Amino acid sequence: MAARQIPEASVARLPVYLRALVDTAERGTHTVSSEALATAAGVNSAKIRKDLSYLGSYGTRGVGYDVEYLIHQISRELGLTQDWATCIVGIGNLGHALANYGGFAERGFRIAALLDTDTSKVGQMVAGLDVLHFDDVERIVKEEEISIGIIAVPGPHAQEVGDRLCAAGITSILNFAPAVLQVAEGVSLRKVDLSIELQILSFYEQRRVAEESVRHGTARRRLEEAALPHAEA
């Protein structure tokens, strides 16, 4: 088993499983079936089994998975057994919120630096950290051994910030800026775009409205049909 090269789609689900498992463990349960874990994670059981099979054979036939053991294996696979140093660039509304968000540190992501170019922000204390000037990014990344950069600057500045981060030796970027980012070869990039998510919802929202009028039309037609002499009792 243990076939290397886990599909991207599976990797993206592992953190979800991990969370479901931690919840399960907190409830004092020590064994889960793929079915139970599927329910907790909001997917189907075949997907769970397939995804977990990429990591190895960690389950027991006829029984299920040991919760603690699986938590350990997934954590290891995700690289969560070590700590990663991150920096947040752009201490505006969102940067502030991210700096204060407890969920990062909880999972081993240490916020090692807050950076901004705005001199009125530099020197401020945010979430217990001094805001430093982005000009010093190369030195800070090296000193703090930062590998993950979080971009929370306005869209038009995202690319230059990304370039500087790449140049400074960062190897992963999480981009919150509403802009398409080009990164150096070999740097991982993920993006979170708030307004894109709303626009996707808007599409389905509109389609729902369109379908509703169609359905009303259909309903009306059905009534008409029902009114025809050959309608069934």
Partner DNA sequence: TCCTGTGAATTCGTTCACAGCC
Partner DNA sequence: GGCTGTGAACGAATTCACAGGA
Residues in the chain: 233
Q: Would you say 65 or 176 has its CB closer to DNA?
A: 65
Q: Given the rule CB under 7 A, which residues bind DNA?
A: 1, 7-10, 32-35, 43-47, 49-50, 52-53, 57-65
Q: Would you say 37 or 161 has its CB closer to DNA?
A: 37
Please select the residue that binds a copy of itself; options are 208, 213, 228, 233, rule is CB under 8 A: 208
What is the radius of gyration, based on Cα positions, of the chain?
24
Determine the number of helices (DSSP H) and then strands (DSSP E) in the chain: 9, 10
Number of residues binding to a copy of itself, judged by CB under 8 A: 62
Of residues 115-134, those binding a copy of itself (CB under 8 A): none
Pick what 167 binds: a copy of itself, DNA, none; C-beta below 5 to 8 Å, kind-dependent: none
State both tokens at 24: 């399960």
State how far the Cα of 73 lies from the Cα of 208, in Å rounded to an integer.
42
DSSP calls for 21-59:
HHHHHHTT--EE-HHHHHHHHTS-HHHHHHHHHHH---E
Please select the residue that binds a copy of itself; options are 48, 148, 153, 166, rule is CB under 8 A: 148
Pick what 132 binds: a copy of itself, DNA, none; C-beta below 5 to 8 Å, kind-dependent: none
